[in-house]
Structure 1
Amino acid sequence: MAWDGREVQRVAGPGGVDVRAVRALVGDALAKGPPQVDVGDVDVITSEIATNARRYSASGRPGGGVWVVVLYAERRLRVEIQDDGGRRDGADDLGRGR
């Protein structure tokens, strides 16, 4: 798939990933002309994923962040958010989900 537009940026903050900055980055990318999408839906999804990264992964630690990728073509939009992995509290994941 060939993409018409691409935005890639790391978003971090002194107290962990800045969710507002992630939302602003995605919103700015959408304003550049990707396909017609419900911007409100994209904002809610972006906010939820970035918040979960801050709350549950190492992205919520001081200096933590996420990589944000926004790709768009004539009738397609793709938003990727990759957190720093691990857990915010530094504990291992043994026993998780039991």
Structure 2
Amino acid sequence: MLEIIFAAAAFVGSLIYFNKKPLESKSVWKAMGLSILIILAAIVFFVLTNSRFMSIIIVPTIICSVYISTLYREMLTRIHKRQQQLLKQREG
């Protein structure tokens, strides 16, 4: 039950944080690589400490996934705005 509460808090908190803060124009691929490294570090820490507390893996995974999806959404928004500008320039 406690893990579900931590997961929900991590999801809501990361949504609030990443939507308010303008993200750096880092490529999605670099952000994915960094996220994979963070998740792997959490898994290694979980295994090395013989922990039964799954939130050690779940919380970083949720935060990284929200970061990647927010970055991807911003990239798509920039592409869409650029396409609209090009279309307006072409029309007149």
Structure with higher strand content: 1
Q: State the TM-score, normalizing by the size of structure 2.
A: 0.36
- Higher relative contact order at CA 8 Å, sep ≥6: structure 1 or structure 2? 2
Bigger CA radius of gyration: 2
Q: Could you state the TM-score of these two structures normalised by the residue count of structure 1?
A: 0.35
